[in-house]
A = this chain, B = another copy of it.
Amino acid sequence: MLLPSDLQSALEVAGVFFAALSGALSAVRKRLDLFGVLVLAWVTGLGGGILRDVLIGAVPPVGIADPALVLTVLVAGFATSLFHLRIERLRRAVVVLDAFALGLFVVVGTLKGLQYDVGWLAALFVGTITGIGGGVVRDVLTGSVPLVLQDRQLYAIPALAGSGAVVVLWETGTLNGWTGMGVVAGVVAFRILSLWRGWVVPEAATGGWPSLWQTRRRKP
């Protein structure tokens, strides 16, 4: 057992809420109707977990079957459509909360893969997909190329690192509440630090990738 299950549930609800908030905000900016806002809150908050559950055979996915999680995205969606102007002003806070959602999703998702005994590689994939899949589906539904594929931010790399850490802890029998929370904290710190310091993924076409990231050039 990674965490006392009440704590694990509370953390998952928090992650879903913040991710759903960011999905709903992007729907409001794209001028979707109210139903569109609720759907985007749903896919951004729960889409990564739905992909994970389909890939590991855990059907029906919790994203359509768990009332607490579905209620969470509905609350986030309605709140956004009512208070989006105020939430926009909290943009900096939303970015931080979004980093928390990433860390929580990655740890919870990798762990679920390992519990379903899919092997370390598939667990690594589904952990990462739990973290970034919701945003990808959100972008595809709103007709954009997924941000995570093109904006050069470090989003997937903290996810992969966190997922890998969970796999290593699991395989060495050292995964417990404290180490699990440590991985969450590490992913959050990595993500926020990369934003703050402007670390980016290299463009593929420059051939510059042996230095895996580099500081974004400031304009002179």
Interface residues of A (CB under 8 A from B): 24, 27-28, 30-37, 39-40, 50, 54-57, 59-61, 64-67, 70, 78, 80-82, 84, 113, 118-119, 121-122, 125-126, 136, 140-146, 148-152, 156-157, 200-205, 207, 209
Contact = CB atoms under 8 A, between A and B. Distances in A.
A86 B191 CA distance: 35
24 contacts: A24-B204, A28-B205, A30-B145, A32-B145, A32-B149, A32-B204, A33-B150, A33-B201, A33-B202, A34-B201, A34-B203, A35-B201, A36-B150, A40-B149, A56-B59, A57-B60, A60-B118, A64-B125, A65-B125, A70-B121, A78-B209, A81-B207, A81-B209, A143-B145
Nearest to A40: B149
Contact of A35 (B27, B40, B148): B148
Copy number in the complex reads 3
Nearest to A69: B121
A151 B40 CA distance: 15
A150 B66 CA distance: 27
Contacts of A151: 33
A166 to B, nearest CB: 16
B82 A207 contact: yes
Contacts of A156: 35, 39
Contact of A140 (B35, B125, B141): B141
B39 A149 contact: yes
Nearest to A155: B35
Nearest to A125: B64
A121 B64 contact: yes
A138 to B, nearest CB: 11
Contacts of A150: 30-33, 36
A60 B51 CA distance: 12
A28 B119 contact: no
Contacts of A55: 50, 54, 59-61, 64
A48 to B, nearest CB: 14
